[in-house]
Amino acid sequence: MSHHHQHHHGEEGCCQTTARVGKPVENFTLETFDPEEGFFGEVSLEKIRESKKWTILFFYPADFTFVCPTELADLASKHEALKALGCEVVAISTDTKFAHMAWHGSEKLMAGVRYKMAADPTGKVSRYFGVYDEATGLALRGTFIINPDGVLVGSEVNFYNVGRNAEELGRKMDANLYLSTHPGEACPARWSPGAKTLTPSEKLVGKVYEALNS
């Protein structure tokens, strides 16, 4: 009965098989290796939400590969700033928590990584976020931003061969935070704190240049 009920719910659009921007994200729990504490634990989207934090999920293909440690080190350089904005940063691959621990201990580029490293060996969460590659069993380079209400507000997915830029992730978080307290406004391209925003209205139609340059 409950299974049928859930299925019926899904048809109504409360839940979906793939996370979608602008829609609530289903709860999930993953085992983690926590480099800061040096021990295993777990991460739960529900718990992060309860603490009123933003969630940043940083999927990457695999431990012990080549572009991945450069990305995780780049993200580590922004970790303190993201934490200060109220974000919980979680890196995720389909490796086990044991592989995470071994890689963190042996790769010098990983020395600055202090955020949790989550294990998704069955690919369940990677599939839900649309980054699971059936051909390899690995996750594509996907970055997802979930607001404190549990709604997916940002999604970026790259193929294996292109690394991301944590600077841009920080900029997106600055914009998301600003808009969370200024819901009537919109942030234009390349917006950073202190820059002009746009207030959508009839007056703005065809006059965006004037609004930004007045």
Q: Is residue 125 part of a domain?
A: yes
Q: Which of the four pLDDT bands, split at 50, 70 and 90, describes residue 14?
A: very low
Q: Is residue 130 part of a domain?
A: yes
The catalytic residue among 14, 15, 68, 187 is 68
Tell me, what CATH number does 78's domain have?
Answer: 3.40.30.10
Q: Is residue 97 part of a domain?
A: yes
Q: Residue 93 is part of which domain span?
A: 2-165
Per DSSP, the three-state class of 196 is coil
Q: Is residue 154 part of a domain?
A: yes
Position 9 scores a pLDDT of: 40
Handedness of CA 192, 194, 199, 203 (dihedral sign): negative
Lowest-pLDDT range of 61-70, 151-160, 164-173, 199-208: 199-208
Q: Is residue 193 part of a domain?
A: no
Q: Is residue 202 part of a domain?
A: no
Q: Is residue 199 part of a domain?
A: no
What is the C-alpha to C-alpha distance for residues 204 and 192, in angstroms, rounded to an integer? 21
Name which of 105, 106, 144, 102 is nearest 119 in CA terms. 102
Q: Is residue 212 part of a domain?
A: no
Handedness of CA 12, 16, 21, 27 (dihedral sign): positive
What is the C-alpha to C-alpha distance for residues 63 and 84, in angstroms, rounded to an integer? 27
Residue 14 falls in the annotated catalytic set: no
Contacts of 137 (CB under 8 A, 6+ apart): 94, 123
User: Is 91 in contact with 72 (CB distance < 8 Å)?
Assistant: yes
Q: What is the domain count for the chain?
A: 1
For 37-79, what is each residue's pLDDT tens digit?
999 999 999 999 999 999 999 999 999 998 999 999 999 999 9
Cα-based angle 111, 115, 116 (whole degrees, multiple of 5): 110
In the numeric block, the tokens 């406004």 are attached to 185
Name which of 142, 145, 136, 138 is nearest 163 in CA terms. 142
